[in-house]
Each structure stands twice: as structure tokens, then as C-alpha cells.
């Protein structure tokens, strides 16, 4: 009996020692995990303290060094503008570090000098505009077509006379157009007012160039029709794509005649924000749709 008690006691001692070792190891692991978590939390707090850009929802960690460099060059810009511009690649030369456009065949498709369409891209649902609204052979995506017709009808009721002179352009059409501009004005000048093939919004089928009927589109800014468009276009889903005093954002000269369809709800939001489509896209659309 005494032997059995000794054996049982030994077993209990062994079990106790094993249990203590297990608990010690578990506590050590938990401490290690807690230390890692504390370190990560400290690093995140430190990053936020050291990084004034990270508070923005459209902040991209991989762009941090570029934000800092851009701020050094542009100290008067707000944090919002710095992050927006860098995210748009405006700290780089135009047509460099380009990428294919996403969200094809949607109203929030972004095409600019850093986002391009393939040469074979043709938007879905292209429809021919009636000659009462446009010169012959003008095509638009159906939703944009329906809304520009509604817009022109309303303008006519208000005593305005608006006509579409250009809309969808194929890659090859834009290629010929751009090359002719380069031939006449050189690359540097042509790039201020014409898109290189693949980089033209016209290829989306969501753009119209408008003017007062049978008037030179270059004079559109000086017409009542232009003022009417500024006040009403957004209610039909269109925004002035290349506004005055926004050339440093859009990278294009002001075009009073160039309107982009984005849908009624989005157009009203962009109009209220006083942002260009590029800026609004980076701040509110990109993270939700890419």
C-alpha cells in the first residue's frame, strides 16, 4: 500500500511539473503576442503622428514618399490636394507610368493621360443621334444619348439652340486627329488640347462636344447657351469636363464645349463639390469601384 501511495504521489508531482511548464510556455507565448500587438499598435500610432496624410480615406501607404516630396515642392497646397494629385500621378510626366482604365462600360470610367483604353475598345450600346440634335454620323452610349436629347429639348424650350458636333470617336479616328495636330503644332502644344490615341474620353462614348447651332465651337464660351449649360447640364447627367482654372488637374486647356456624361446623381454631386471628375474619382469613386 505504501508503494502505491509513493507511486501515486510521484505521478501527481510529475503532472504538476508538466502543468507548470505548460502554463509557463503559454504565458510566454501570450506575452510575446501581446508584445507584438503592442509594437504594431505603437508603430501605427507613430505612423499617424508622423504622417499627416494617413487620415484621408484615399491615402495610399505606398505613395507616402511621393506625398512628402510633392508637399516639399508645393508647400501651399492642402493635404487633400497633395494626396489627390499624387494619386492622379500628377507628380509625374504625362503619359508616363500609365495603366489600363478600369470600370469599362460604366458611367464612372476614368480616361486621362495616365489611364488608357485599348485600341480595340468599343463601348457597348452605341446609338446614332438624330440629325435634329447633332450633325450626321454622331454616336453615343444609349443612356448618354437619351439624356443629351432631353437636355437639348429643354434648352430649346428655354430659347437656347444647342447642337452636338462630336461624340464617340474610335481609336483610329483619334490617332489621325492627334497626328494632324502634332504635324501642325508639335507634340508639346498638341498635348495641351488633344488626347493621344487610347487616352481620349471620346472613345468612351460618354462625351459630347456641343456648340450653339451652326456657330463655331471656339466661340461657345461667349454664348447664352454656354451659361445655360453651366446651370443645367448636371441635371441631365453631364459635367463640364475641362473647366477653367483647373488645367493643372485635368492637364488640358479649358474647353467650354466638352461635356462628359456620368449619370444624373453623380453629376449633381460633382457639380456641388466643385471638383473635376479626376479629383472626385480619386477621392470618392476609386476605392469603391476598383
Domain CATH number, residue 206:
3.30.1380.10
Pairing relation of β-strands 139-141 and 126-128? antiparallel
Q: Reply yes or no on whether the pLDDT at 88 is more than 90.
A: yes
Of residues 255, 265, 279, 286, which has the active-site annotation? 255
Is residue 13 one of the residues assigned to a domain? no
Same domain, 45 and 80: no
Same domain, 64 and 45: no
pLDDT tens digits for range 121-167: 999 999 999 999 999 999 999 999 999 999 999 999 999 999 999 99
Same domain, 25 and 125: no
Number of domains in the chain: 3
Same domain, 72 and 113: no
Q: What's the pLDDT score for residue 49?
A: 47
CA-CA distance, 111 to 199, in Å (whole number)?
6
Q: Reply yes or no on whether the pLDDT at 33 is more than 70.
A: no
Q: What's the pLDDT score for residue 51?
A: 86
Instruction: Provide the domain limits for residue 71.
Output: 55-87
Q: Reply yes or no on whether the pLDDT at 6 is more than 80.
A: no
pLDDT tens digits for range 168-202: 999 999 999 999 999 999 999 999 999 999 999 99
Is residue 4 one of the residues assigned to a domain? no
Same domain, 186 and 137: yes
Whether 255 is a known active-site residue: answer yes
Same domain, 176 and 114: yes
Of 48-57, 143-152, 218-227, 232-241, the poorest mean pLDDT is in 48-57
Same domain, 129 and 159: yes
Same domain, 115 and 245: yes
Same domain, 147 and 247: yes
Amino acid at each position: 500500500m505504501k508503494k502505491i501511495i509513493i507511486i501515486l504521489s510521484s505521478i501527481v508531482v510529475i503532472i504538476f511539473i508538466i502543468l507548470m511548464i505548460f502554463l509557463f510556455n503559454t504565458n510566454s507565448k501570450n506575452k510575446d503576442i501581446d508584445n507584438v500587438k503592442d509594437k504594431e499598435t505603437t508603430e501605427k500610432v507613430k505612423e499617424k503622428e508622423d504622417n499627416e496624410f494617413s487620415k484621408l480615406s484615399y491615402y495610399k501607404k505606398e505613395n507616402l514618399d511621393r506625398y512628402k516630396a510633392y508637399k516639399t515642392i508645393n508647400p501651399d497646397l492642402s493635404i487633400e490636394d497633395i494626396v489627390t494629385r499624387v494619386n492622379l500621378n500628377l507628380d509625374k510626366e504625362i503619359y508616363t507610368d500609365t495603366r489600363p482604365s478600369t470600370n469599362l462600360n460604366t458611367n464612372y470610367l476614368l480616361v486621362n493621360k495616365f489611364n488608357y483604353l485599348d485600341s480595340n475598345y468599343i463601348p457597348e450600346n452605341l446609338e446614332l443621334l438624330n440629325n435634329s440634335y447633332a450633325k450626321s454620323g454622331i454616336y453615343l452610349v444609349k443612356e448618354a444619348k437619351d439624356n443629351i436629347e432631353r437636355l437639348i429639348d429643354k434648352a430649346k424650350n428655354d430659347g437656347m439652340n444647342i447642337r452636338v458636333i462630336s461624340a464617340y470617336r474610335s481609336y483610329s479616328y483619334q490617332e489621325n486627329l492627334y497626328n494632324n495636330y502634332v504635324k501642325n503644332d508639335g507634340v508639346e502644344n498638341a498635348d495641351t488640347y488633344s488626347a493621344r490615341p487610347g487616352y481620349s474620353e471620346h472613345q468612351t462614348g460618354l462625351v459630347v462636344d456641343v456648340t450653339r447651332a451652326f456657330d463655331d465651337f471656339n466661340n461657345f464660351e461667349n454664348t447664352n447657351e454656354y451659361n445655360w449649360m453651366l446651370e443645367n447640364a448636371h441635371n441631365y447627367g453631364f459635367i463640364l469636363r475641362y473647366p477653367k482654372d483647373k488645367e493643372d488637374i485635368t492637364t488640358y486647356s479649358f474647353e467650354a464645349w466638352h461635356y462628359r456624361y456620368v449619370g444624373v446623381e453623380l453629376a449633381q454631386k460633382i457639380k456641388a463639390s466643385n471638383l473635376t471628375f479626376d479629383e472626385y474619382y480619386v477621392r470618392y469613386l476609386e476605392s469603391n469601384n476598383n
